[in-house]
């Protein structure tokens, strides 16, 4: 071995080469300080700020709390503003207004009442105008007809459509029974099967419309004919819907005479 120095390929010593480690001091050199950015001149624009997250939506309850309070009761009863004058209204628009009033009316409207709702149009003109509308509805074959009833005019469904209209009315008849309907129903319930003649003898009045209403409500039905009476009249009795409505297991559960204190 030729000493501590390595030899070159030609046998001579290699020249000393400075090692990067020799250039480092004994102690680790401190990292270079990061230069702080210099403040921008006063004339330069400020850098854009980072976008911020959107604020959460305000709860609906708090929005409702800020709504104005309802108007006092006295203000709700304030009179409505008068309708505009219809003196120069074209016939087509006048017909639309009259039709709207007739549709919402629950009883016949007289020309006087219509003239109060349509200022600027006389009663005589409205009476003739309604007669023309009635003739027009008949000519066009509409599903309704405009009829003069009790000195007024009212829109009614045509009789030829009764078979179909009655199917809708049967589902929407009022469920509250009148006193006459309750009396008729009680007679049928306690006397069934009973003909219409006996029901009318007990009540003292005609019961045809009331029986029809009870049948539409599915509380009364025809159970047969009286073969021993003249003309074989129809016999009426109660239905299962009657028992369900009054919470009865059968007609034998109907209250008896002693339960009424008689």
Q: pLDDT per residue over 36-61, tens digit each?
A: 555 555 555 555 555 555 555 555 44
Would you say residue 95 has pLDDT above 50? yes
Measured CA to CA, the distance from residue 195 to residue 187 in angstroms comes to 11
Antiparallel, parallel or unpaired: β 220-225 and 234-238: antiparallel
Q: How far, rounded to the nearest angstrom, does the alpha carbon of residue 204 sit from its chain's CA centroid? A: 45
Does pTM surpass 0.75? no
Q: Where in the chain is the domain with CATH 1.10.10.10?
A: 91-159, 173-256
What length is written for the chain? 262
Q: Is the N-terminal amide bond of 120 cis, ω within 30° of 0? A: no
Q: Compute the mean pLDDT over every residue in the chain, rounded to the nearest whole number.
A: 75
Would you say residue 3 has pLDDT above 70? no
Q: At which residue do the structure tokens 């290699």 appear?
A: 14
Residues with Cβ within 8 Å of 110's Cβ and at least 6 positions away in sequence, in order, are 151, 152, 153
In 3D, which of 167, 133, 168, 162 has the Cα closest to residue 148?
133
Measured CA to CA, the distance from residue 117 to residue 1 in angstroms comes to 132
Taking the CB of residue 111, how many other CB atoms lie within 10 A of it? 20
Average pLDDT over residues 250-260: 79
Reported as a pLDDT band with limits 50, 70 and 90, residue 2 is: very low
Average pLDDT over residues 2-11: 52
Answer yes or no: are the C-beta atoms of 252 and 218 closer than 8 Å. Answer: no
Taking the CB of residue 181, how many other CB atoms lie within 10 A of it? 19
Average pLDDT over residues 204-223: 90
CATH architecture observed for domain 91-159: Orthogonal Bundle (1.10)
pLDDT tens figures, 147-172:
887 678 888 888 888 888 877 766 55
CATH number for domain 173-256, candidates 3.40.50.880, 1.10.10.10, 3.40.50.410, 3.40.50.1950: 1.10.10.10
């Amino acid at each position: 071995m030729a000493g501590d120095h390595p030899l070159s390929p030609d046998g001579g010593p290699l020249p000393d080469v400075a090692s990067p480690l020799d250039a480092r001091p004994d102690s680790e050199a401190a990292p270079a300080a990061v230069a702080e950015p210099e403040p921008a001149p006063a004339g330069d624009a400020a850098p854009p700020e980072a976008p911020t997250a959107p604020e959460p939506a305000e709860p609906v309850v708090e929005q409702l709390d800020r709504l104005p309070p309802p108007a006092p009761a006295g203000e709700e009863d304030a009179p409505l503003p008068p309708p505009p004058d219809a003196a120069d209204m074209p016939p087509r628009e006048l017909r639309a207004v009259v039709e709207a009033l007739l549709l919402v009316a629950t009883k016949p409207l007289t020309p006087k009442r219509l003239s109060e709702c349509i200022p600027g149009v006389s009663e005589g003109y409205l009476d003739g105008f309604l007669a023309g509308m009635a003739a027009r509805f008949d000519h066009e074959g509409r599903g309704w007809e405009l009829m003069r009833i009790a000195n007024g005019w009212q829109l009614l469904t045509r009789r030829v459509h009764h078979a179909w209209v009655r199917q809708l009315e049967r589902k929407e008849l009022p469920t509250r029974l009148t006193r006459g309907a309750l009396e008729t129903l009680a007679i049928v319930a306690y006397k069934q099967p009973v003909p219409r003649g006996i029901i009318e003898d007990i009540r003292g009045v005609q019961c045809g419309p009331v029986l029809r209403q009870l049948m539409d409500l599915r509380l009364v039905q025809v159970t047969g004919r009286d073969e021993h009476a003249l003309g074989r009249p129809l016999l009426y009795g109660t239905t299962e819907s009657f028992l369900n409505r009054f919470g009865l297991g059968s007609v034998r559960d109907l209250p008896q005479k002693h339960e009424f204190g008689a």
